[in-house]
């Protein structure tokens, strides 16, 4: 089995869907001959032509709006945000127009908005964001956030095939860092709405997604080695709809929960997960639900600052150790 990067897996997924379904097309900034800022669509225009790989003006609202119109007509647009930070320019279009379309008007809007997110790359305040919390609060959008190469491929394919709009967040720190052997000739479809047990454990559960899945796994290994702790790591993979069953299962198994995410704390996903556990599994808890997240500041540029603000493996180790001893 060939080893492929997270980015290559994503690319393969989009390529396969475009080969399979002529309704699928790509639109975004510099996605054509240039192949996208991170080369996710490299070679696409040569294979599929300019009609299906459309270079657009720098107009995120128009990109998302046009994708919506095409989706109403039965197309399957995949809209790229060059950096996901710029999705805020299309916030109105996504939350007011796209997300509400089925409910308010019975309009199908099967489309994907995807783009590179996340920090740990010295990108500064506007090339490092994690926008999921802004959209978690919007009924009508689905949000997927793969952590592995396999899921990068499986989730982009499932997202393109989904009947509803999907926000697909791809962490740029994972693009070329994560490699995995993927079988050739096998169709990989990761179901939307299903979490993945990334590591089994019995003393404490870490619930996480995206880049911090890898940092949590690293922390779990260290805690096993140094402290003899058995840490379970649940990779959510999908944020909307959230896999409540998987969350409650791990809570009932370990009775202690640490929620880890890279986004800032206040109003972040961890708060929502904690509330759900509180409502459904309160009596299973042997300790407070704790959070390891970014600090509540815009993400700074300097390595010393960024490393302090974002959750690091060592932060997770210390937090998990504290909670395990509670």
Partner 1 sequence: MTSRAAPALPAGPATQPAPPPPPPAALSRDQLVEIYYYLRLTRTLEERLVALYRQSKVIGGLFRSLGQEGESVASAYALDRGRHQDILSPLIRNLGSLLVMGAKPVEILRQYMAKAESPTHGRELNVHFNDLERGYLGQISHLGDMIPVMAGIALTFKLRGEARVGLVYIGDGGTSTGTFHEGLNLAAVQRLPLVVIGEYNHWAYSTPPAKQFAVRDLAEKAKGYGIPAVTVDGNDVIAVYEATKLAVDRARRGKGVHFIEVKTYRRKGHAEHDDQHYVPKEDLERWAQENDPVDRYVQRLLGADVVSEADLKDIDDRVRVEIDQATDACVDEPLPQAETALPGVYVDPPAADTLWFKAL
Q: Which residues bind partner 1 (CB under 8 A)?
A: 25, 51-52, 54, 56-57, 59-75, 77, 92-93, 96-97, 100, 102-107, 139-140, 142, 163-164, 193, 241, 279
Closest to partner 1 by CB, 132 vs 262, is 132
Question: CB of 209 within 8 A of CB of 145?
Answer: yes
Closest to partner 1 by CB, 276 vs 321, is 276
For the residues of 91-139, what is the DSSP string, one character each? Answer: HHIIIIIITTHHHHH------EEEEEE--SS---TTSS---HHHHHTST
Helix (H, G, I), strand (E, B) or coil at 143: strand
Closest to partner 1 by CB, 61 vs 121, is 61
Largest Cα separation within the chain, whole Å, is 59
Closest to partner 1 by CB, 28 vs 36, is 28
Please tell me which residue in 72, 127, 203, 295 is annotated as part of the active site.
Answer: 127
Closest to partner 1 by CB, 164 vs 180, is 164
**CA 93, 131, 110 angle in degrees (round to 5)?**
45
Helix (H, G, I), strand (E, B) or coil at 170: strand
Q: Which residues contact 101 (CB under 8 A, 6 or more apart)?
A: 68, 72, 107, 108, 109, 140
Q: How far is the CB of 26 from partner 1 (least distance, A)?
A: 12
Residue 295 known to be catalytic: no
Closest to partner 1 by CB, 39 vs 102, is 102
C-alpha dist (Å) from residue 46 to 31, 53, 114: 11, 9, 21
For the residues of 26-80, what is the DSSP string, one character each? Answer: EEETT-STT--TTSTTTTHHHHH-TTTEEE--S-HHHHHHHHHHHHHTT-EEEEE
The span from the CA of 142 to the CA of 86, in Å, is 18
Q: How far is the CB of 122 from partner 1 (least distance, A)?
A: 30
Question: CB of 120 within 8 A of CB of 306?
Answer: yes
Q: How far is the CB of 279 from partner 1 (least distance, A)?
A: 8
Active site residues: 127
């Amino acid at each position: 089995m060939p080893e492929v990067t997270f980015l290559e897996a994503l690319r393969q997924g989009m390529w396969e869907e475009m080969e399979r379904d002529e309704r699928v097309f790509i639109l975004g900034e510099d996605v054509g001959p240039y192949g996208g800022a991170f080369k996710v669509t490299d070679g696409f225009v040569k294979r599929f032509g300019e009609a299906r790989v459309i270079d657009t003006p720098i107009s995120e609202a128009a990109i998302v709006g046009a994708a919506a119109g095409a989706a109403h007509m039965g197309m399957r647009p995949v809209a790229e945000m060059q950096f996901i930070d710029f999705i805020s320019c299309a916030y109105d279009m996504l939350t007011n127009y796209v997300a509400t379309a089925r409910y308010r008007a019975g309009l199908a809007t099967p489309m994907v908005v995807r783009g590179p997110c996340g920090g740990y790359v010295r990108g500064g305040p506007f090339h490092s964001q994690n926008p999921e919390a802004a959209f978690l609060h919007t009924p009508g959008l689905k949000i997927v956030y793969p952590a592995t190469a396999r899921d990068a491929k499986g989730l982009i394919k499932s997202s393109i095939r989904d009947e509803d709009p999907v926000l697909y967040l791809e962490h740029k720190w994972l693009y070329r860092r994560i490699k995995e052997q993927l079988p050739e000739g096998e169709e990989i479809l990761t179901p939307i709405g299903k979490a993945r047990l990334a590591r089994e454990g019995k003393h404490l559960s870490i619930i996480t997604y995206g880049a911090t899945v890898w940092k949590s796994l690293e922390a779990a290994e260290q805690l096993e080695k140094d402290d003899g702790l058995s840490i379970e790591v649940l990779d959510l993979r999908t944020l909307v709809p959230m896999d409540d069953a998987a969350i409650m299962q791990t809570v009932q198994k370990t009775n202690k929960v640490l929620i880890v995410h890279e986004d800032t704390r206040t109003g972040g996903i961890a708060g929502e997960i904690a509330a759900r556990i509180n409502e459904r599994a309160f009596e299973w808890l042997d300790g407070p639900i704790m959070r390891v997240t970014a600090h509540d500041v815009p993400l700074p540029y300097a390595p010393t600052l960024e490393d302090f603000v974002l959750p690091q493996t060592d932060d997770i180790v210390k937090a998990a150790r504290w909670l395990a001893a509670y």
